[in-house]
Structure 1
Amino acid sequence: MSATPSKGDLRTAALARRDALGDRERAAAAEAIARRGLPLAIKAGAAVAGYSPIRNEVDPVPLMQTLAAKGARLALPVVPARGKSLIFRAWSPNDRLMLGPLGILEPSPAAAELVPDIVLVPLAAFDRAGHRIGYGAGHYDFTLAHLHRRKTLAIGLAFAAQEIPAVPAAAHDVMLDLVLTENETIDFRSV
C-alpha cells in the first residue's frame, strides 16, 4: 500500500506539468479564459484583484482587461510581510510596477488601496472540491480567510494540467468559489 502523497509532492508534480506547457499554450489558455470571462455579472466599479504572474502561472491580464472593459476597477496584491494579509492596490495595464520584496511586480505604494470584490488566485494545483495548493507561504489562505467574511469571491486561475484528484486540505485552507481553466469553468459555490 502506497503512502498518500504530501502537498509538497503534489505541488511539485503539478508545477512540472504546468512548466511543460509551451509559451503558445500558456498564452492561448489565458486568452481562452478571457474570452469566456466570468459566469457572473460584474457590477460597475467592482474591484477585481489579479496578480503579477510568476513561474509560468496563467497570465490574468487578458481576463482583467476584459473585466475592466465591463467597468471593473483593477488591483494587484502587495506582500507586506509573512503572516500578514495581502494588500491590494489599484492598478491599470499602463501603470509602471515595482519589484516587491519577494521579487514580484507590485503597484506603487502611492496607488490607492482597494478591498476586492473578486480575487483571482494563482495556484500550483486544484481539485474538484474547490481546494487548492499554493506555494506554501500561506499568503492567499490568510488573506482569503479575512476577505471571505465580506463575501469576496475567490477564483482560481489554472491550466487544466494542474488538476489533481484530491488536495489534502487542512483546517486553515480556504476553498475557492470557482476555478477557470482553458477548458472550463468549475463552480464550487453550490457544492
Structure 2
Amino acid sequence: MSRTTEPPSKAKLRTAALAVRDSLSETKRAAAAQAIARRGLPVELVAGAVVAGYSPIRSELDPTPLMRALAAKGARLALPVITQRGQSLRFRIWHEGDRLLPGSLGILEPSPAAVEVVPDIVLVPLAAFDRSGHRIGYGAGHYDRTLANLHKSRGFAAIGLAFSGQEVATVPALQHDVPLDYVLTEKKAFDFRSS
C-alpha cells in the first residue's frame, strides 16, 4: 500500500517559520530592518500617502526604520487598531514619539483621539509566506478581513515584511485568504501582482 504525504498544515508551517524567526539574533533582526529601509518600497510613494505600519510583537520584523524613511519622503504614518475580534482593523495616524497604548490584545496602538484614516499602503506582519503572495498570520484573520475590505473600496498596496527564512514552499491558501502584492525581506523584494 502506497502512502501519500499530506502537505504541511498552516499550523505546522506557522510553527516552523516562527521558530526560524525566533532563532534570529537581535543584531540580525536589526540589520534586516535596516536593509529593507535602505531599499525602500517597490511602489511609488506619493507625497501625503498614508502608510500603515504595525507595532511589532514577539520577533516580528520591526517596520520602524522603513516607516521613518517613508515619513522623511512625505508619507503620513498610521498604525492598526483592533476594535473587536472578527472585525477589520482600523487605522489611526501615528507620529514617531506619540504615546501608544496597549490595545485589546496587548499590542500597542495609537490613542483613540488620533485621527482615523484609510491607508494607501499597508505593511503587513506575517509568520510565513510563499512565492504566490500567500501569507500565514497568527490565525485571527484580522489582516485578511482588512485587506479584503480595502480591495472593495479602493486601490492600495499590501506589502508583507518578513525575514527571508520565513519563506515556505507553499501556503495552503483558503478561499478567504487575501494574497499580498509584495513581500520585502532583507535579501529580496517579491512582486506578486502579475501572478
User: 2:126 aligned to 123, 126, 130, which one?
Assistant: 123
Corresponding residue for 1:2? 5
Match runs of 1:86-97 below 5 Å: 86-97=89-100
Structure 2: where are the runs of 5+ without partners? none
CA RMSD, 1 decimal: 0.6
Q: Which residue matches 2:52? A: 49
2:195 equivalent to 1:183: no
Amino acid at match of 1:26: R
Work out whether 1:58 is the aligned partner of 2:61. yes
> Once the 2 structures are TM-superposed, how far is the Cα of residue 2 of structure 1 from its aligned partner?
2.3
TM-score (norm 1): 0.99
**What is the distance in 2 between the residues matched to 1:77 and 1:40?**
21
Alpha-carbon distance in structure 2 between the residues aligned to 1:152 and 1:41: 12
Find runs of 4+ consecutive structure 1 residues off by over 2 angstroms: none
One-letter identity of the residue aligned with 1:42:
L
- The more displaced of 38-47 and 19-28 is 38-47
> How do 1:25-174 and structure 2 match up within 5 A?
25-149=28-152, 150-174=154-178
Cα distance in 2 for partners of 1:4, 1:39 equals: 32
Deviations 1:101-131 (A, max 9, x none): 1010000000000100000000000000000
| Whole-angstrom distance in 1 between the partners of 2:170 and 2:7 | 10
Q: Tell me the secondary structure at the aligned position of residue 117 of structure 2.
A: coil
